Structure 1
Amino acid sequence: MKNTIAERIADFLKRFPPFDLLKKNQLLEIAVQVTIKYLDKGQIIYNQNDALHQHFYIIHKGAVSLKKTINNTSEVIDKFDEGDVFGLRPLFAQENYAITSITEEECILYSIPIEVFKPMAEKNKEVGKYLLESFASNTENPFSKEHQLRFFSDTEIVLNPTDNLFELQPVSYIKKIVTAKPTSKIKTIAKLMSSKNIGSIIIEDNGLPLGIVTDKDLRNKVATGLHTIKEPVKNVMSAPVLCYPKNLTIAQAQITMMKHKIGHLCITEDGTPNSKLIGLVSEHDMTLMKGNNPSVLMKAIKRTNSTKDLKRVREKIAILLKGYILQNIPLTHTSKIIFELNDATIKRIIERCLEKMKEEPPVKFAWMSLGSQGRKEQLLQTDQDNAIVFENVPKEELETVRDYFLKLAKKVNKRLNTIGFEFCNADMMAKNPKWCLSLDEWKAQFSNWTSNTGNDEILLSSIFFDFDISYGEASLTNALSDHVLSITKTNSVFLSKLGVNALRSASPLGFFRQFLVESDGKHKDFFDLKKRALMPLIDAGRLLTLTYQIKNINNTAERFEKLAELFPENKELYLSSSYAFKAILKFRTKHGLLNNDNGRFIALEVLTKEEKMKLKRCFKTIATLQEFIKIRFNLSTLV
């Protein structure tokens, strides 16, 4: 005879993780052992420090709060609702309860014996993987060092040389590097290269890489008579050098070398020229390593002679991205590769447009990518945000020079639109005269935004302060970066306003852990992943790096990782913020690819319980970070 109640319980369980990973007979085996508990509002299920029950719980109806007593104050650290599992981690860890669970309203709980469930979990790898993440939900910080979780399979992977994704492995680099000082004589350098039988020497000062001298430099600059062997080597070195951290992938090294037409990359402690040199990667090393997909696309970009061809390459990049997301390749690797391919595409379009101009550029200039591309976070094709900075010229020549670059920008913006980068609705593009300025004009603009700061200036600062050079003269963008740090260094009023801006979107969760959706407009009842989840992290990362004067790091996740390195007392919060950002960005990318859009607005009914659970954990980090900012910048009275 059928056990109708058990079947109903099994049908309920199979809707939620990790029970959805079990077979039907296993669900029935669990269901017949379930005890149903009916609890009124305010009833305690277990107290902090209580001895373990022999059951864990899943909520059939109602809501449960998890509380922890800290310094004699009881704080709510999480809220659970229908389908959420709690009380499981302590049973596996064999520890007393570290938190108190109490009903927020009338509840129906299913109490599941651990002795029935545990053997099933230990034999099922997928259930085990889920539980590792689930256990984190009972901690104050689910991204702490103890748990080291990477949401949405954003884990470190090991690939074999025969794998198609071998190019995602960290690149091998030379650790024993021959170096010299910038004041060394060229003759001395040539003898050293000959005696060591090497083709290059890194020029450094106090351990920081300044440049590189290669066989090619000696042939082209010394053997031709342009320089004498008695001159200091700084006169012929190639500078600056491109620097990366030690986790640089094979693919990224390959396409970077091709894009910049160079044969060497420096490995430094933090990936910038401002930290100690620890290794060197050469083009020769690359020939010994296998890797094709991204590098083939990079070669195709460099060979293209029409916008139509570039559009086809862009379509292949989208396929590559989809493959990486489906195969759960770590987002850190994926975003770096897609950024380099996007950047090379922009560069190729600018090169072709310059060829079509009747005259050479009148002065040096730089094309700046802004927003998500400027932060190296643009995975899906969104609208274009860009600007031009050009060298200072006499006042009487300014408009003539600007006119040249506006004509160039119009061609570039048009072709970027053709290959899939939509025009910016707010016209934040280089073809707009407002965003095609000389270096001094940009400096004056930035100074004005930070000294006469209203809502518009805050918005503009949040867009234009995240820039990255895509083409042109790096000294111009470096000068702008230095200026931004200079004008914000002691500007507490501006930083406070940035802080208020970082708190403008409250926690993405409403009462009883429900997602806050749009209340009207085109996207009514949809969840705005960009505004409510990504922007609070992006704004906070920018605010903190400006506050602590951190240069050359625009990527949000990398900003938080650098903060964690500099300020170990807040390491767990910063690392959790980095991981949360990568998880949410990967989630947006995944849904954008599925729906063939930019992934910004999510229909909640399409989310699985597991996806909602993972997002809610990320939202907890956002709430904690915003509270930290409120205290750090004394903003309680301003928000």
Structure 2
Amino acid sequence: MKNTIAERILDFLKDFPPFDVLEKEQLFKIAENVKVIHLEKDNFIFKQNEKPHLNFYVVKEGAIGLYRTMDNDQILVDICDEGDLFGLRPLIQNDQYLMSAKANEESLLYAISVEILKEIIKTNDKINKFLIASFATNIKTPYANKDRQLFDYEEISDSNLSDIQTADYSKNPITCTKNTSIKEAAQIMSTKRVGSILIVENKNPIGIITDKDLRLKIATGLISIEAKVTEIMSSPVITFPINITTAEAQIAMLKHKVTHLCITKNGTPNSKLIGVLSEHDIVVLHGNNPSVLVKELKRSKNINTLKYIRNKTSNLLKSYIEQHIPITFISKIISEINDVITSKAIEFSIEEMKSEPPVKFSWLALGSQGRKEQLLITDQDNAIVFEDVPEENYKTTKDYFIKLAKKITEKLNFVGYEYCPAEMMASNPKWCLSLNEWKNQFNTWITKPTEDAVMLCTIFFDYSVIYGDKNLVHKMSESIFKSIESYEIFLNFLGRNALRNPPPLGFFRQFLVENNGEHKDQFDIKSRALMPLVDAARLIALSHNLKDNNNTITRFEEIANAEPQNKDLYLNCADSFKILLHFRTKQGIENNSSGRYVNLNKLSKSEKLKLKGCFKPIKDIQDLLNIRYNLAQMM
């Protein structure tokens, strides 16, 4: 007799790894034995420290949050949704669960027999490697590239894992000597409130004692508490160098069945102890994982969650900067989070309106957010474009979108994005326009390039669609390029604007600093270094009709391909921009500011030299613009 329920389960599982690499007979055997579990919101499937189940789980519908309880706080480590696996611990390492699994919303789960999968693993090496990689790294679909080659467990490295962060280990490990008694060591651990103590000899780690050792070996009476620590310490210790990634650490803990790793100067036991990395540290870091933050954002139900996650994003940014993660990677991550926050603020605001939007519209991020370069929390720059409507419907349509925009900007302000002092926001009727109005506005700015018009173009040309109908924005973009094509002298005016700030160094190679005001004697890294590069990239990209990407680094890379004769200059500009953006972000974090103004007296000699090294491409690109657009004649 046909088992239609099993076949429906099979149809679902076959589209998700690792089930997609199974033979049909193997998959059907699993499907026949699946238990379907319905879970109400906030109900647990298992709890931390609970004995392992006979099953692991796949999410059919809904969302399951994985939480680690620490100091009575529940830390969200990951969110599993459709097709994700969780609860793999009894399959790989048969001991207590390290986390709790709770339904974040009403959910439907497939419980899959551990024993049946263990049988299949014996004959299917691919699924074995998948489960090890998935368990160790929290990666749901660990495929290295488009041809879907599974990771080789023995060769997993930070270059092919999504979590490329250096692990954030404790840099002040608690230590004792081998002559210390177990009682003394336990007292030190209690006083310092730590779960482990390292035994050192000549500053090198020779062993480790954890809370688990005290429970199993001392509390049970097997060994006297007056004995030396060498009686119960685990030795030799597992050691790694300081640049170990989170993923490598997880795999090492799994492989060696340990919960602590020693960080030493050269990564061997025969070198100076630098720190210790625990499972606790890994869990805390994963609670701040960008993919987890984005998932949590997308499922958020209120504005308070947006603010909470934006604050966590600031911590993530600080961590990335400290670890010297490439700025292009940082920009993509932070920009994605910023965009999702904005999208959710829009969704919440639409829900508050008494009716759905009357016509199609798009929400545009302008300026640094539009270029995907807004790393620190700065003020808002945004606009709305809505579908053209008959004249008799125009006022009510515009009124709707202005009201909506006010709700959105209020929410963004609550999250932490300050209102724009110049009111470059969609809540301003000047920047909430129909498609045809925007076309006319841009055409006026381009064909009548007054100083104010050119300044506005530098803001409004750098837009990206955050929410809504992309086709509207595509039509607007086509109109802009058409206007520029018919009035090419506009590029000369943009060029003149790009030279409004001279190169950052004076005649004697001294930094050009502010002469007066609040920031007297400070260096304006935004106006004097970053914006000349932003302006140059925008201008040359427009001249080559390069569309759909407003990011400064990407613009320079694209125009390097368009002008191979100037390739080195453009790529040097891109590199300089990366360094300057990283520097500004670091300054902002350290000084709890926008990072715009730099106190040169607080910089080291090497930092000043590094900055100066970024300035030559600025001078060279400005020289190129000066010649190309005959700007000397316009000054």
| Length-normalised TM-score, structure 1 | 0.56
1:390 matched residue in structure 2: 386
Rounded to whole Å, the distance in 2 between the matches of 1:296 and 1:352 is 21
1:412 matched residue in structure 2: 408
2:145 matched residue in structure 1: 173
1:594 matched residue in structure 2: 590
1:630 matched residue in structure 2: 626
1:444 matched residue in structure 2: 440
SS in 1 for 2:355: coil
Residue 568 of structure 1: how far off its partner (Å): 1.0
Percent identical residues: 50
- Asked whether 1:422 is paired with 2:418, we answer yes
Q: Identify unmatched segments of 5+ residues in structure 1.
A: 1-159, 177-246, 253-289
Give the alignment partner of residue 530 of structure 2, picking from 534, 559, 576: 534
- Asked whether 1:454 is paired with 2:426, we answer no
Rate the CA distance shift 1:413–1:568 in 2: closer, same or farther, 3 A: same
Rounded to whole Å, the distance in 1 between the matches of 2:133 and 2:539 is 42
Please list the CA deviations of residues 46-83 of structure 1 after superposition, one character each: whole Å capped at 9, or x if unmatched: xxxxxxxxxxxxxxxxxxxxxxxxxxxxxxxxxxxxxx
Rate the CA distance shift 1:367–1:165 in 2: closer, same or farther, 3 A: farther
1:321 matched residue in structure 2: 317
Residue 470 of structure 1: how far off its partner (Å): 0.5
Residue 636 of structure 1: how far off its partner (Å): 2.0
Whether the 8 Å contact between 1:298 and 1:344 is mirrored in structure 2 is yes
Rounded to whole Å, the distance in 2 between the matches of 1:439 and 1:550 is 21
Rate the CA distance shift 1:251–1:540 in 2: closer, same or farther, 3 A: farther
Residue 326 of structure 1: how far off its partner (Å): 0.4
Rate the CA distance shift 1:632–1:434 in 2: closer, same or farther, 3 A: same
Rounded to whole Å, the distance in 1 between the matches of 2:142 and 2:541 is 27
Please list the CA deviations of residues 253-279 of structure 1 after superposition, one character each: whole Å capped at 9, or x if unmatched: xxxxxxxxxxxxxxxxxxxxxxxxxxx
Q: What is the total number of aligned residue pairs between the two structures?
A: 373
SS in 2 for 1:320: helix
Residue 361 of structure 1: how far off its partner (Å): 0.5
SS in 1 for 2:633: coil
- Asked whether 1:513 is paired with 2:478, we answer no
Rounded to whole Å, the distance in 2 between the matches of 1:329 and 1:163 is 25
Instruction: Give matches, 1:5-44, under 5 Å.
Output: none
Rounded to whole Å, the distance in 2 between the matches of 1:161 and 1:449 is 55
Letter aligned with residue 146 of structure 2: I
Residue 637 of structure 1: how far off its partner (Å): 2.2
Whether the 8 Å contact between 2:134 and 2:142 is mirrored in structure 1 is no
Rounded to whole Å, the distance in 2 between the matches of 1:387 and 1:372 is 14
Please list the CA deviations of residues 514-554 of structure 1 after superposition, one character each: whole Å capped at 9, or x if unmatched: 10011111111111111000110000011001111001110
Give the alignment partner of residue 372 of structure 2, picking from 365, 369, 376: 376
Letter aligned with residue 387 of structure 2: E
1:338 matched residue in structure 2: 334
Letter aligned with residue 616 of structure 1: K
Rounded to whole Å, the distance in 2 between the matches of 1:377 and 1:419 is 18
Residue 345 of structure 1: how far off its partner (Å): 0.4
Rounded to whole Å, the distance in 2 between the matches of 1:495 and 1:295 is 41
Residue 248 of structure 1: how far off its partner (Å): 11
Residue 174 of structure 1: how far off its partner (Å): 2.2
1:399 matched residue in structure 2: 395
Letter aligned with residue 341 of structure 1: I
1:504 matched residue in structure 2: 500
Rounded to whole Å, the distance in 2 between the matches of 1:635 and 1:563 is 21
SS in 1 for 2:356: coil
Instruction: Give matches, 1:456-495, under 5 Å.
Output: 456-495=452-491
Residue 250 of structure 1: how far off its partner (Å): 4.2
Rounded to whole Å, the distance in 2 between the matches of 1:318 and 1:360 is 33
- Asked whether 1:524 is paired with 2:486, we answer no
Rounded to whole Å, the distance in 2 between the matches of 1:549 and 1:318 is 36
Asked which structure has the greater RCO (Cα within 8 Å, sep 6+), the reply is 1
Instruction: Give matches, 1:239-250, under 5 Å.
Output: 250=162
1:308 matched residue in structure 2: 304
Whether the 8 Å contact between 1:339 and 1:377 is mirrored in structure 2 is yes
Rate the CA distance shift 1:580–1:164 in 2: closer, same or farther, 3 A: farther
Rate the CA distance shift 1:496–1:251 in 2: closer, same or farther, 3 A: farther
Rate the CA distance shift 1:170–1:291 in 2: closer, same or farther, 3 A: farther
1:152 matched residue in structure 2: none
Q: Identify unmatched segments of 5+ residues in structure 2.
A: 1-131, 149-158, 165-284
Rate the CA distance shift 1:635–1:249 in 2: closer, same or farther, 3 A: farther
Whether the 8 Å contact between 2:364 and 2:466 is mirrored in structure 1 is yes
Segment drifting more, 298-307 vs 331-340 = 298-307
Moved over 4 A (4+): 160-167, 247-252
SS in 1 for 2:423: coil
Please list the CA deviations of residues 329-357 of structure 1 after superposition, one character each: whole Å capped at 9, or x if unmatched: 01111100110000000000100111111
Letter aligned with residue 297 of structure 1: L
Rounded to whole Å, the distance in 1 between the matches of 2:353 and 2:581 is 38
Please list the CA deviations of residues 381-431 of structure 1 after superposition, one character each: whole Å capped at 9, or x if unmatched: 000000000000001111110000001000000110111101000000000
Rounded to whole Å, the distance in 1 between the matches of 2:543 and 2:135 is 44
SS in 2 for 1:337: helix
Please list the CA deviations of residues 92-133 of structure 1 after superposition, one character each: whole Å capped at 9, or x if unmatched: xxxxxxxxxxxxxxxxxxxxxxxxxxxxxxxxxxxxxxxxxx
Give the alignment partner of residue 602 of structure 2, picking from 603, 606, 626: 606
Rounded to whole Å, the distance in 1 between the matches of 2:396 and 2:364 is 21
Rounded to whole Å, the distance in 1 between the matches of 2:301 and 2:163 is 24
SS in 1 for 2:364: strand
Letter aligned with residue 316 of structure 1: K
Rounded to whole Å, the distance in 2 between the matches of 1:331 and 1:555 is 13
Residue 163 of structure 1: how far off its partner (Å): 13
Rounded to whole Å, the distance in 2 between the matches of 1:165 and 1:629 is 49
